[in-house]
Structure 1
Amino acid sequence: MAKRISITQADKDVHPAVLALGQKMGAFALTNSTDRLEATLLAFKQVIDSYTTPQGSTMSRHFTSHVLNPQVEYLSACRPMCFSMGNAVRWLKMQVSKIDIDVPEADAKKDLTEAIDNFLRERIHVADVVIAELVADLISPDGDLVVTFMHHPLVERALLHARVEQQKSFRVMVIDDPFEPTGRALVPRLSNQGIPVSYVPNLAALGTLLQEASLVFFGAESMFSNGAMYAQAGTCDVALFANDLGIPVIGLCSTINFTERVAIDSQTYNEIDPDNHTADSFRLLFDTTPDKYITAVVTELGKTAPASVPVIMRKLEEL
């Protein structure tokens, strides 16, 4: 659970940019994994820019243990890191370890910040564009009813691309979570682009609501290596009903959010809602949808079956 620790409790070595970011994360001002990942890497760029290697040491040996680790520990204390943040931290540590001890500090810092910029562009920005285009192609131009749950930036981008760029005519049903109705803000943004939208404020009567659906899109927080999808709490309920009705269920997830971990239920890896818990009960922020309820996953590498997640991860490691 997000502890929402105060700035005064942070280690003295935590950078001001990271201090501010931790407070935002603890207060849930940044919610989805992509926003949290991008904000983290941009803060780490500021940490690198302000870093000076102590005399008698080298950046490759000193930076990770004495500078980067306190930043990571503080962010983790404010709110548990999402899987993409963990992947990015491991990647950054690897880049630091590769710095030649003979490279001048200014050049090493420049190379690191450029590597972060390339990472952000390729693994987040370009990946999101490609996923949106691939998902938009799945929508039929002759009146599909697309169902989505809550709000996820990738799903919104895909729907807008299908309407604005591909000029497709389709309808959207936004099913929301009564505890965290993020889908409510999505409705006017879609309507303003000429997309007919119906809004459902809770999960009641899913079997009836999904009768006319053509596709169901979910934005995933992560994909486990056993093909299970980690997404907003309530996703599994919608996916289960859609699967029973024979409606294709499509998960949208960039590969930076993949994890080698395995989960078969929602208790293994999850977060507790800090605003909805007592000594006797609590609300989980996410749930785990088994791969049998997911028709396909769309990543920047294409559309694939959930069972192919470990294969994709192995290919990424070889690059």
Structure 2
Amino acid sequence: MLPPQVRSVLEELRAERIRGASWMAKRGAEAYLILANLLEGEDLEKALLELKRELPAVNPTMASLYNLTRFIPITGDASLVISRAEEFLHLIDEAKKTIGNIGSELIEDGDTVITHSFSSAVFEVLRTARSRGVDFKVILTESAPDYEGIVLASELEKLGIEFELITDAQLGLFAGRSTLALVGADNITKDGAVINKAGTYLLALACHDNGVPFYVTAESFKLHPELRSSEVEILERPYARQGYRVRNFLFDVTPWKYIRGIITELGILVPPREI
């Protein structure tokens, strides 16, 4: 039986609409810290087994939650669980900084970067490029129905980065006006496909048609060691407008052939060979 404090974190993860796989993994690691500070011995071991089942089920599309549960051992030693969870949190922070440094090298003066949804890794790339004095602009979608793009616009505004906000339906129109595409990922499958916010596949197609290089930013814990793209469970949430049910799959699948590279803390990987 998981303690109420850990149950509360799971409910928080289920309710989240804006923040993605990196934030989910961070909160998941913090749930392990809470658990290890409350239990030990056999009680801890039983709770860890339960959390290993429940955490990935919060959002089965996200590889980060699955990989987090693989990273934390099933043990009654609370100090070991705390050590591993803290290591995971450290790796998250370091990975993002490295991705920012690597990805920012792709952005040059005069570039127009197009993105979809709100990826913390993409934001780190843009932030780092800005801190280096690169002069560029961003085209971003509003990212309906949860409007993550509006949140990103607010963050770009704080940094003084020039941006243009568009509706999702204009992805095809504006892709040709960009010089580089950067998106995040919630899962990168064994066969090199990228699972990300629905609309990512359409952006990749538009970029392919317009000759715009399409890059994905993702920490290595988003690489799924087992699943192929056809095996990933794509989460759908109930959604209605004016009394009509609207299909609302949260993610779509972008095949590797449309992806120039995946920017990770290990370098830029070429899918699927280097996955």
TM-score by length of 1: 0.79
> 2:197 corresponds to which residue?
232
Map 1:1-319; keep pairs closer than 5 Å: 13-28=1-16, 31-53=19-41, 63-64=44-45, 66-75=46-55, 79-80=59-60, 82-93=62-73, 96=75, 108-122=77-91, 124-141=92-109, 143-164=110-131, 166-204=132-170, 206-259=171-224, 260-264=226-230, 268-276=232-240, 282-310=247-275
1:30 deviation in Å? 6.7
Q: Which has the larger radius of gyration?
A: 1
- Match of 1:86, SS? helix
- Match of 1:303, SS? strand
* Structure-2 separation of matches of 1:207 and 1:29: 25
Q: Is the 8 A contact 1:220 1:251 kept in 2?
A: yes
Q: Is the 8 A contact 1:221 1:257 kept in 2?
A: yes
Please list the CA deviations of residues 112-146 of structure 1 after superposition, one character each: whole Å capped at 9, or x if unmatched.
Answer: 31222112212x110011001111110012x1011
- Match of 1:230, SS? strand
TM-score by length of 2: 0.90
- Could you list the runs of 5+ residues in structure 1 that have no partner in the other structure? 1-12, 55-61, 97-104, 311-319
Letter of the structure 1 residue corresponding to residue 146 of structure 2: E
- Ranked by relative contact order (alpha carbons within 8 Å, sequence separation 6 or more), the top structure is 2
Letter of the structure 1 residue corresponding to residue 193 of structure 2: A
Relative to structure 1, the CA distance from residue 155 to residue 296 in structure 2 (aligned partners, 3 Å threshold; closer, same or farther) is same
Relative to structure 1, the CA distance from residue 89 to residue 207 in structure 2 (aligned partners, 3 Å threshold; closer, same or farther) is closer
Relative to structure 1, the CA distance from residue 72 to residue 256 in structure 2 (aligned partners, 3 Å threshold; closer, same or farther) is same
- Match of 2:272, SS? helix
- Match of 2:238, SS? strand
Letter of the structure 1 residue corresponding to residue 219 of structure 2: S
* Structure-2 separation of matches of 1:71 and 1:252: 28
* Structure-2 separation of matches of 1:138 and 1:182: 24
Letter of the structure 2 residue corresponding to residue 182 of structure 1: E
Deviating more after overlay: 40-49 vs 241-250:
40-49
Please list the CA deviations of residues 201-251 of structure 1 after superposition, one character each: whole Å capped at 9, or x if unmatched.
Answer: 2223x3331222110000111111111001000000011010111110000
Q: Is the 8 A contact 1:226 1:309 kept in 2?
A: no
* Structure-1 separation of matches of 2:18 and 2:251: 15
Indicate the RMSD between aligned Cα atoms, in angstroms.
2.4
* Structure-2 separation of matches of 1:159 and 1:44: 31
- Could you list the runs of 5+ residues in structure 2 that have no partner in the other structure? none
1:276 deviation in Å? 4.7
Q: Is the 8 A contact 2:63 2:188 kept in 1?
A: no
1:306 deviation in Å? 1.4
* Structure-2 separation of matches of 1:67 and 1:192: 42
Deviating more after overlay: 71-80 vs 110-119:
71-80
Relative to structure 1, the CA distance from residue 48 to residue 289 in structure 2 (aligned partners, 3 Å threshold; closer, same or farther) is same
* Structure-1 separation of matches of 2:72 and 2:254: 30
Percentage identity across paired residues of the two chains: 23
Q: Is the 8 A contact 2:121 2:217 kept in 1?
A: yes
